[in-house]
Amino acid sequence: MLTDLFDENAVRDLDAKFAGTCQREAFYIPQHGDEDQAYFVGNSLGLQPHAARAAVDDVMFKWQTEAVEGHFNGPTQWLTYHRLVRDQLAALVGALPHEVVAMNTLTVNLHLLMASFYQPVEGRAAILVEKGAFPTDTYAVRSQIEFHGFDASLNLIEVEPDENGWFPTEHIVAAIREHGSQLALVLWPGVQYRTGQVFDMAAIAAAAHEVGAMVGFDCAHSVGNVPMNLHDSDADFAVWCHYKYVNSGPGAVAGAFVHDRHASNPSLPRLAGWWGNRQDVRFLMGPQFEPSNGAEGWQLSNPPVLALAPLRASLELFSSVGIEALRDYSRSMTDYLFTLIDTHFSDHLESVTPRDFKERGCQVSVRILAGRAKGRELFEYLQSRGVLGDWREPDVIRISPAPLYNTHMDILKLARVLREWCDGQG
Ligand SMILES: Cc1ncc(COP(=O)(O)O)c(C=O)c1O
């Protein structure tokens, strides 16, 4: 680590070490006056890759010139457009190609997969989640429990965090064992959205299976952030979005994973649509649903090709660098940020993100010790100086240096503005 954390030349040298990994020049960086903004909000909406527009334009041109024929012409034909992202997506999440599909949006996929993997019966109808889960997860599981005619106040089991707001693996496993005989499903995040804690999905999946429950993961904050091994984790299913670290634009088409052991399991119930039908029989327009093998069998509608186009462009960037190299670079940036907080700002801020590198990705959430009002003041001060994090009630600012486009220099900019603000606090 640097001897002087504010030494601009040393920070530039550190960035130079990762020049082959960071793809900043492939992105539009929002401007603040005539400077690049220090944009740390990839945990919410990732930046636009230059290539995204060209990918969308290609679809527009194909539509303009080929109209309906575009479904069947050439390598980017729309009939199989979702397959253009399949292999790179599978590599990013650590899955076999037929285990993943890009479709719908995250919450829709969560419901669709719970329709298959949440099969409550009297005495085993409960779903276990983390207390303080992202609201859509809580709403979705509660509504699923009620949809099946069970009482959500009895069947939604929320695991309490420890005094740091974290969920140690042994704590999660103990909760699964404690409620084991009641559990139909464990739904857990890959990375917790508020604290940035990274979970051991394999350990959670093993504990859930041991008690006879299914297990699914909401990987909204994992994908594009940390290396994932969905297949080896043995999860039954997973869902995620692509507008955060995968930089595919607001409301981007989401992702879903169904483990290979369920790829062609006829006993699994599912909500079917014609696009999930096998491609070779789909256009026979028969009455019988014959699901495609694997995750594609859960598709409902023909894919929103225009919305899928930016994902193609974005996945190219991940493939060109590799998530492991991005993880190393991310570690360097977050280590720098943690050291700054510890050595210069600990009178004003504390991290609510676990310090252990294995338990965090690129998100560092900081609590403002003086409380909400001062926290808002700091958040707005940062914004006015071209440093963008995001605010989480009641007193947390999330800072997420995304290794595809952020730099140590962005963090230095944050540190300088923080220092100005702290100096002004007396
Ligand atoms: C953990 C988590 N799940 C789900 C969502 C959003 O779901 P959707 O894409 O369906 O709006 C978010 C959005 O920030 C999230 O952080």
Q: Render pLDDT for 254-292 as a digit per residue (tens, 0 to 9).
A: 999 999 999 988 889 999 999 999 999 998 898 999 999
pLDDT band at 113 (very low <50, low <70, confident <90, very high): very high
| Nearest atom in ligand 1 to 107's CA | 10
Residue 373: pLDDT over 90: yes
The pLDDT value given to residue 325: 97
Beta strand residue intervals within 231-310, DSSP E: 237-240, 255-258
The pLDDT value given to residue 23: 97
Gap between the terminal Cα atoms of the chain: 29
Question: Which amino acid does the sequence have at 132?
Answer: G
Measured in angstroms, how far is the CA atom of residue 242 from the centroid of ligand 1? Answer: 10
Residue 380: pLDDT over 80: yes
Residue 68 lies in a domain: yes
Same domain, 357 and 242: no
Q: Name the residue of 241, 244, 363 whose CB sits within 8 Å of the most ligand 1 atoms, as the mutation to test its pocket.
A: 241
Same domain, 180 and 76: yes
How far is the C-alpha of 101 from the C-alpha of 103, rounded, in Å?
Answer: 6
Same domain, 271 and 370: no
Domain boundary (262, 297, 319) is at 319
Same domain, 241 and 267: yes
Same domain, 305 and 334: no
How far is the C-alpha of 6 from the C-alpha of 98, rounded, in Å?
Answer: 48
> Model-level pTM?
0.97
Question: Which amino acid does the sequence have at 254?
Answer: A
Measured in angstroms, how far is the CA atom of residue 216 from the centroid of ligand 1? Answer: 15
What's the average model confidence in pLDDT over 306-313?
96
Q: Tens digit of pLDDT for each residue in 129-174?
A: 999 999 999 999 999 999 999 999 999 999 999 999 999 999 999 9
Going by C-alpha positions, the residue among 270, 294, 272 that lies closest to residue 282 is: 272
Same domain, 342 and 308: no
Residue 426: pLDDT over 90: no
Structural domain containing residue 348: 8-22+323-423
The pLDDT value given to residue 265: 85
The pLDDT value given to residue 1: 72
Question: Which amino acid does the sequence have at 88?
Answer: Q
Contact 206, 223 (CB under 8 A): no
Look at residue 39 and give its three-state secondary structure.
Answer: strand
Residue 33 lies in a domain: no
Q: What is the CATH number of the domain that holds 402?
A: 3.90.1150.10
Displacement of CA 77 from its chain's centroid (Å): 28
The pLDDT value given to residue 3: 85
Average confidence score pLDDT of the chain: 96
The pLDDT value given to residue 60: 98
Measured in angstroms, how far is the CA atom of residue 135 from the centroid of ligand 1? Answer: 8
Nearest CA to ligand 1 atom 15: 220
Q: Tens digit of pLDDT for each residue in 214-248?
A: 999 999 999 999 999 999 999 999 999 999 999 99
Measured in angstroms, how far is the CA atom of residue 44 from the centroid of ligand 1? Answer: 9
**Cross-strand pairs, 399:** 364
Same domain, 348 and 244: no
Return the percentage of the chain with pLDDT > 70, whole number.
100
Torsion of CA 176, 181, 185, 186, to 10 degrees: 0
Query: In the chain, how many domains are there?
Result: 2
What's the average model confidence in pLDDT over 35-41?
98
Contacts of 51 (CB under 8 A, 6+ apart): 26, 313, 314, 316, 317
Pocket of ligand 1 (CB under 6 A): 105-107, 134, 136, 189, 193, 218, 220-221, 241
Q: Name the residue of 105, 109, 138, 193 whose CB sits within 8 Å of the most ligand 1 atoms, as the mutation to test its pocket.
A: 193
Measured in angstroms, how far is the CA atom of residue 241 from the centroid of ligand 1? Answer: 7
The pLDDT value given to residue 267: 84
| Nearest atom in ligand 1 to 243's CA | 9
**Cross-strand pairs, 397:** 366, 391
The pLDDT value given to residue 266: 81
Buried b (16+ CB within 10 A) or exposed e, 216-229: bbbbbbbbbbbebe
Measured in angstroms, how far is the CA atom of residue 220 from the centroid of ligand 1? Answer: 6
